[in-house]
Chain A
Amino acid sequence: MTGLNLNTLVRQAHEKNDYDALLSLIPYAKLIGIECLRLGDDMVFRLPANKDNIGNPTLPALHGGVIAGFMEHAAMLHLLMFMGIPHLPKIIDFSIDYLRAGHYRDTYAQCQVWRQGRRVANVAITAWQTSQSEPIATARAHFKVDEP
């Protein structure tokens, strides 16, 4: 990321508590509609209910791929916001366990960085709808975080 100054964008977002500029940078995040909620020192990501994100029409349920994409992007944003990474992390692998149906309603995600090395970061992501203690999915991802 040479042309974009991500560090500046992240700093301004934290200062103004307004993450729109950071979110609208990535077309895919805009497509599915990711939002950020700052709660003290924590960051919670929200995916508002959106008909275009539905997979199974009979339940109706969110597409599992959208839930995964939301969680992957939440992990990427979390690394950018808290780990001082000056460029977009690159995904190495991603593994998700679906625990409950993701209903057609708002979905939330929170991230935990278990390890950040010089080159690779390991992030765990939990997604829930009604209650954080009843996650709809857990995932973990490795990202390449050194210079591209």
Chain B
Amino acid sequence: MTDNPVLERAQRFLAALRHCQVLGLSVHEAKPQGLTLRLPYSTQIIGNPESGVIHGGAITTLMDTTCGISTVCVLPEFEICPTLDLRIDYMRPAAPHKDVYGFAECYRVTENIIFTRGYAYQDNPDEPIAHVVGAFMRMGKPTDLKAGAKGGA
């Protein structure tokens, strides 16, 4: 057991997502104020073969995952929270051959919706390569889901 429950839950969450394992995502920092994940540079996620710059899709996956898992920072228990919507604004192109970090925080939690925001950066968090906002739906605890489900699995 670790003395950082947010970190432990974030790592468990991330480990369950197969595509995130394919990309090699890892938890860089987990605090009650927000979560930072790391996307390692890899030739398999290049979007521009001439410049070696990584594809926006890999950044979107990093930020969707970071925003989604940042919900563990504010929820007392694990809840399934599918993404309602996500918007990414690119401030500047990512530099090739460098890892990308994604930070996200939940800035408003309601009964049904969690509003998240964050940014992606490489060397300096003050010079983000992208800004992100995303809304997530609260589906309740897995046990609530089962109790509420009519038939089905």
Contact surface of A with B, Cβ cutoff 8 Å: 1-4, 25-32, 51-57, 62-66, 68-70, 72-73, 88, 90-98, 101
Chain B residues with CB under 8 A of A1: 50
Knowing A25-B49, A68-B57, A68-B61, the reply to whether A96 touches B16 (Cβ < 8 A) is: no
**Shortest beta-carbon distance from A13 to chain B in Å:** 16
CB of B95 within 8 Å of the partner chain: no
- Residues of A within 8 Å of B68, CB to CB, are 64
Across-interface contacts of B75 in A (CB, < 8 A): none
22 contacts between A and B (CB under 8 A): A4-B50, A26-B55, A27-B43, A28-B54, A28-B58, A31-B44, A31-B45, A53-B19, A57-B17, A63-B18, A63-B61, A65-B19, A66-B61, A72-B55, A73-B55, A93-B89, A93-B90, A95-B85, A96-B87, A97-B85, A98-B83, A98-B84
Cβ–Cβ < 8 Å partners of A73 in chain B: 47, 55, 57
The answer to whether B88 and A94 have CB atoms under 8 Å apart is yes
Residue of A at shortest CB range from B137?
A98
CA distance A63 to B21 in the complex (A): 12
**Chain B contact residues, CB within 8 Å of chain A:** 16-20, 22, 43-50, 54-58, 60-65, 68, 80, 82-90, 93
| Complex CA distance for A65 and B64, rounded to whole angstroms | 6
Q: Beyond A52-B22, A96-B87, A98-B86: 8 further Cβ-contacts under 8 Å? A: A55-B19, A55-B65, A56-B80, A64-B86, A69-B55, A95-B85, A95-B87, A97-B84
Contact status B49-A4, CB under 8 Å = yes
B-chain residues with CB within 8 Å of residue A32 when the two chains form the complex? 57
What CA separation (Å) do A93 and B60 show in the bound complex?
11
B95 to chain A, nearest CB (A): 14
> Hey, which chain A residues are within 8 Å of B64, CB to CB?
63-65, 68
